[in-house]
Structure 1
Amino acid sequence: MEEATLMGSLIEELEAREAAARVRVKELAAQIAELTARLEGEREALSRLRVTRETVAEVLTALSGRDADAGPVAGPDPVGPEVRVVGAIMVPHWREGLSSDVLPDVYRDMVEVVADASSPMQAKQIVPRIGLPAVTGKIEGTRGKLKRLVQRGWLIEDQPGRFAPARRDR
């Protein structure tokens, strides 16, 4: 009889431990879901802030009377005088004889991906091809950069949200 009581107590103890472990797993899963949502929100905020900072730097450069075709922050513009704007990546306007080599890496990658495509592309198609995760924040940040390339004459937006090379002869 003692063995049956001992086995019954052991089974009850195991069931109690299993129930406690199940509660801990459920709590941890809820925490992970909350942290994942917070992380995605922060990534989106970071992307919007980066695009905003770049846009503000461009506007300030234009308002200060400097050349809007300034090159990257790290060094002189390969086609003109050095203009240094701290914290901004500048995309020069396209002009005859200018290759995509003058663009910052990510912009050059976008132009090359679009140029290699057989038809106009959307930002969500371009993001994975330039090595970024296909999440909302990256897609929106990329869309902003693509629109900047359209404004500067590197690409065209033949339909809303569909980007193609401005010149097919490249």
Structure 2
Amino acid sequence: MRELLDKIEARQRLVGETVERLREQITELSGRLDAAERTLERLEITQATVLELAAEDSTRVPEPLPSGYSEALALFEEAASGLRVKDVCQALDTGLEPRHTESTRAKLKRLVRRGILTEPEPGLFTLTKRAGHTRP
């Protein structure tokens, strides 16, 4: 009978060790599961935010150009290459005095900031190449 009790005790120790090892694994896996769930939640929130921002950008209507800009922009749409400020002033018949050229330069620089024109070299302005570009 003692032999049978020894076998039972040995089995109890073995099963007890297995239970303890399984509990440790469950604790570790629970921590990993919590971390993965938090990461998943952050990713879902990030994705939703990006989709919201993309939807806002696609529905945003560009601000209309103030008076005088459309005429200048039309020149660039017709031009085969870039234009200089004096070219624009001559075409628009605004005069070549410094007050006229600087006013026109300021308008062209605003169009550059809006992404409608580019200035590949100082004083030379070109229409930005965008797929499906239309005048705003």
TM-score, length-scaled by structure 1: 0.40
Q: Which has the larger radius of gyration?
A: 2
Select the structure that is richer in helix.
2
Using the size of structure 2 for normalisation, the TM-score is: 0.48
